[in-house]
Amino acid sequence: MTPENSAVERLNKHLALQLGVSRRQADNLIADGVVQVNGVAATLGARFTTGDSITVKGEPLAADTVYQYLAFHKPIGYVCSRRQQGESPTIYDLIPAQYHHLKPVGRLDRDSSGIILLSNDGNFAFTMTHPKFAKTKLYNVRLDHDLTPLHQQMISDHGVQLEDGTSTLQLERMNDDDRTEWIVTMHEGRNRQIRRTFGSLGYTVTALHRTNFGNYALGDIKPGEFAVIDIQ
């Protein structure tokens, strides 16, 4: 009988996290008969409990999940998906295979660039993206024409009504002589919210670049490159 305080986990998920492979590859290892739990060959769909001994090709596997965290500089033209969308490549084409099991934490659309976090830590992803935690995100935004003072006030003070609710953004001019480039601060993460907010007032966002996500900043990470980070 499994003790009440023992955690039951899916074996293929655990293998994927520990070995840096996909769950399908983990299933292939199990099907090949090279994975054993407590000395017995595992079967597809198997689960294990805390304290079980797991080996792969005779080598012991750590019992505890090793969580990983990356800060990635997403270039324009790439999608935050495992599958290519049309002719657009994915961010996983730029990330080493050993990190392909990590999932994006907060996405950017194909035409946007900047910081993307990736992790296999579900709790971290939840606290970074759920609205109740109100993580601050900073963007550099360029518009196709000058933002009028009235529209600036509407967006910052009153918000703009979108189909999924009111959108309020904090706006700061990047240059006193230019009203097309803005630093946008937001605490939400609705789909294409910044583009839709400006679009509702007749503006087109021609460039959108995220520099900060919560406590994490892009810093000097170059486009297409990443840095391993510690959670803060």
Q: Which residue has the tokens 């990736």?
A: 118
Q: Where is pLDDT greater, at 3 or 12?
A: 12
What pLDDT digit, counting tens, does each position of 24-42 carry? 888 999 999 999 999 999 9
Per-residue pLDDT, 4? 47
Which of these is catalytic: 109, 111, 121, 220?
109
Q: Across all residues in the chain, what is the average pLDDT? A: 90
Catalytic residue flag (residue 109): yes
Per-residue pLDDT, 7? 62
Q: Where is pLDDT greater, at 154 or 59?
A: 154
Quick one: pLDDT band at residue 2, thresholds 50, 70, 90? very low
What pLDDT digit, counting tens, does each position of 79-121 carry? 998 877 788 899 999 999 889 888 899 889 999 999 999 998 8
What percentage of the chain has pLDDT greater than the value 90?
64
Residue 20 has pLDDT above 80, yes or no: no
